[in-house]
């Protein structure tokens, strides 16, 4: 089960993993009560808003989109350096292209969802706090039994905690300013 699924399980949900094409029929039949897919652009393509019109944000389980690839270390080391460099640069390009694509397409898709009847709701602070607490508990549980996870999690957490003060000054401050002006 995915980490977000395990977190929602801690909150009392019964998560199910379904193929994209199976989500709409499962909602329609009442087999599942809610769904999470990718974001507005992909959600619109599946038509989820037609059967589940309440659209909640933010997706606390995925703070940002990222592509990953795993390569067997022995196979990687056997590649010529130039091929390693090509694969690395191709990965950077694909990740940046994908993020730019969603940043460009999600705003229009969200407007279409709302125009099609979706009702936009923010998760309450209580739900966000409970989700955060459950996620932290899960991360600590996994860290207690998996040294590699613990090392990566601690590194990511330290980086994030140190970065948020800058993001609040630079990005959040600017974004809030621009959002206020875009709505006037």
The predicted structure's pLDDT at residue 129 = 95
**15 & 68 share domain:** yes
The answer, as to whether pTM is greater than 0.75, is yes
Q: Report whether pLDDT(62) > 80.
A: no
**64 & 133 share domain:** yes
Total number of domains constituting the chain: 2
Q: Report whether pLDDT(64) > 80.
A: no
Q: Select the more confidently predicted residue: 32 or 61.
A: 32
The predicted structure's pLDDT at residue 60 = 79
**Average pLDDT across the chain, whole number:** 93
* Euclidean distance between CA atoms 7 and 17, whole angstroms: 14
Q: Domain range for residue 96?
A: 3-145
Q: Report whether pLDDT(183) > 80.
A: no
Give the tens place of pLDDT for each residue, 162-182.
998 888 888 888 988 999 998
The predicted structure's pLDDT at residue 15 = 93
**127 & 87 share domain:** yes
**72 & 122 share domain:** yes
**155 & 102 share domain:** no
Give the tens place of pLDDT for each residue, 2-38.
888 999 999 999 999 999 999 999 999 999 999 988 8
**56 & 137 share domain:** yes
Question: Could you tell me the CA-to-CA distances from 33 to 13, 16, 25, 61, 113 in Å, in that order?
Answer: 10, 10, 11, 18, 19
Q: Report whether pLDDT(63) > 80.
A: no
**128 & 154 share domain:** no
Cβ neighbours of residue 7 closer than 8 Å, sequence gap 6 or more: 61, 131, 134, 135, 138
* Euclidean distance between CA atoms 30 and 122, whole angstroms: 24
> What DSSP letter does each residue of 105-129 carry, written as one string?
HHHHHHHHHHHTT-EEEEPPHHHHH
The predicted structure's pLDDT at residue 59 = 83
Q: Select the more confidently predicted residue: 147 or 173.
A: 147
Specify the DSSP element, H or E, that contains 59.
none
* Euclidean distance between CA atoms 84 and 78, whole angstroms: 9
**152 & 141 share domain:** no
**137 & 168 share domain:** no
Cβ neighbours of residue 40 closer than 8 Å, sequence gap 6 or more: 105, 106, 107, 109, 110, 112, 113
**17 & 63 share domain:** yes
The predicted structure's pLDDT at residue 14 = 94
**151 & 169 share domain:** yes
Mean pLDDT value of segment 151-158: 95
**93 & 158 share domain:** no
Q: Report whether pLDDT(1) > 90.
A: no
CATH number at residue 7: 3.40.190.10
């Amino acid at each position: 089960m995915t980490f977000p699924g395990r977190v929602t399980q801690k909150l009392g949900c019964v998560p199910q993993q379904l193929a994209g094409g199976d989500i709409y029929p499962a909602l329609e039949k009442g087999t599942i009560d809610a769904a999470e897919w990718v974001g507005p652009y992909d959600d619109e393509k599946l038509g989820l808003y037609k059967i589940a019109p309440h659209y909640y944000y933010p997706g606390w389980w995925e703070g940002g989109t990222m592509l990953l690839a795993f390569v067997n270390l022995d196979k990687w080391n056997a590649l010529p350096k130039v091929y390693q460099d090509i694969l690395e640069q191709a990965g950077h390009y694909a990740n940046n292209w994908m993020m730019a694509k969603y940043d460009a397409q999600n705003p229009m898709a969200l407007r279409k969802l709302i125009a099609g009847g979706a009702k936009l709701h923010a998760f309450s602070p209580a739900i966000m706090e409970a989700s955060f607490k459950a996620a932290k508990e899960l991360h600590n549980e996994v860290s207690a039994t998996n040294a590699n996870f613990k090392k990566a999690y601690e590194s990511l957490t330290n980086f994030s905690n140190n970065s948020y003060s800058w993001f609040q000054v630079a990005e959040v401050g600017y974004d809030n300013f621009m959002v206020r002006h875009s709505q006037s």
